[in-house]
């Protein structure tokens, strides 16, 4: 006796994101959601609608909820029984404290890395740097950002200090949204490329103090860009002042000004 035909599965939505089945499912969903948060597709302060994400990722609610718990542990979202899941926001003060800490950690890591890296490590960094420059020349923001992150992570890893590496990893994810936002500013993006070049020069000359100094300055300037974006109003074409869109991306709120007669 023939089996009844299985009902056809509904077609995925147009913005569906394909997921590999080789990686643990919840972890891969969490990685995808992290990218959406970093790039502002899931804005700070916004509510996470499970049904919408299930459709977009073509997943069921069980692995999605497991992924959300991973993101809560990362400090990227807030889970509440009453309000559901919401993307965490960042204040100006929090951004200042965060990048102050990261500047110290990564600056120290750069000093240690120069002293401890072998020639092959520096060659690998140089190759990543050259590829990152090509993405900058082509204005390929997402590809540039991926290699930028890889270089920052490599410098920390080359420090050879397990406690430093673990401490850095525990706060890194919260900083990536700000770092991505910083390269939206063309001037800051150009400055950042020059600072990366200065770091590579310090590695090639085995100048640990110079590497630490340029890397601390690099992260402090990124932090300044984020704080400025959070607190500085932008000026529209008609001269009226309006809140910078980056504030909405990081804080999930807008400044409401009283109207004047």
Q: What is the pLDDT along the chain (261 residues), one digit of tens a residue?
A: 555 554 454 555 555 555 545 447 888 999 899 888 888 788 888 898 899 999 998 999 999 999 999 888 888 888 887 778 888 888 899 889 999 999 999 999 999 999 999 999 999 999 999 999 999 999 999 999 999 999 999 999 999 999 999 999 988 888 888 888 777 789 999 999 999 999 999 999 999 999 999 999 999 999 999 888 877 543 333 344 434 444 444 545 443 333 333
What sign does the CA torsion over 68, 72, 74, 75 have?
Answer: positive
**Burial grade of 148 (CB within 10 A; 0-12, 13-18, 19 or more):** buried
Domain boundaries defined on the chain: 25-87, 92-232
> Which strands sit side by side in the sheet containing 77-80, from one edge to the other?
47-48, 84-87, 77-80
Reference 174, options 87, 104, 73, 74; nearest CA is: 74
What sign does the CA torsion over 191, 197, 203, 209 have?
Answer: negative
> Residue 94: left if φ>0, alpha if ψ -120 to 50, beta else—which one?
alpha
Other Cβ atoms less than 10 A from the Cβ of 65: the count is 14
What pLDDT score does 4 carry? 53
Whole-prediction pTM value? 0.71
Reference 248, options 97, 34, 93, 90; nearest CA is: 90
**Burial grade of 8 (CB within 10 A; 0-12, 13-18, 19 or more):** exposed
CATH of domain 25-87: 1.10.10.10
Overall CATH class of domain 92-232: mainly alpha
């Amino acid at each position: 006796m023939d089996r009844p035909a299985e009902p056809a599965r509904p077609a995925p939505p147009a913005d569906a994101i394909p997921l590999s089945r080789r990686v643990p499912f919840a972890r891969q969903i969490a990685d995808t959601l992290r990218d959406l948060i970093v790039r502002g597709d899931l804005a700070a302060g916004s509510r996470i609608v499970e049904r919408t994400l299930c459709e977009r990722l073509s997943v069921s609610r069980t692995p999605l909820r497991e992924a959300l718990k991973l993101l809560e542990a990362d400090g990227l979202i807030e889970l509440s029984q009453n309000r559901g899941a919401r993307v965490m926001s960042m204040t100006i003060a929090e951004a200042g404290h965060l990048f102050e800490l990261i500047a110290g950690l990564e600056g120290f890591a750069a000093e240690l890395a120069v002293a401890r890296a072998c020639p092959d490590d520096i060659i690998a960094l140089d190759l990543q740097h050259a590829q990152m420059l090509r993405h900058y020349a082509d204005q390929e923001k997402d590809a540039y950002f991926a290699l930028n992150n890889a270089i920052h992570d490599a410098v920390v890893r080359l420090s050879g200090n397990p406690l430093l590496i673990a401490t850095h990893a525990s706060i890194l994810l919260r900083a990536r949204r700000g770092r991505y936002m910083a390269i939206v500013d063309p001037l800051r993006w150009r400055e950042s490329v020059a600072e990366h070049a200065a770091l590579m020069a310090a590695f090639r000359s085995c100048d640990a103090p110079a590497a630490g100094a340029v890397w601390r300055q690099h992260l402090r300037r990124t932090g300044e860009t984020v704080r400025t974006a959070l607190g500085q109003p932008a000026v529209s074409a008609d001269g009226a002042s309006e809140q910078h869109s980056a504030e909405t991306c990081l804080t999930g709120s807008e400044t409401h000004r009283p109207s004047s007669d």
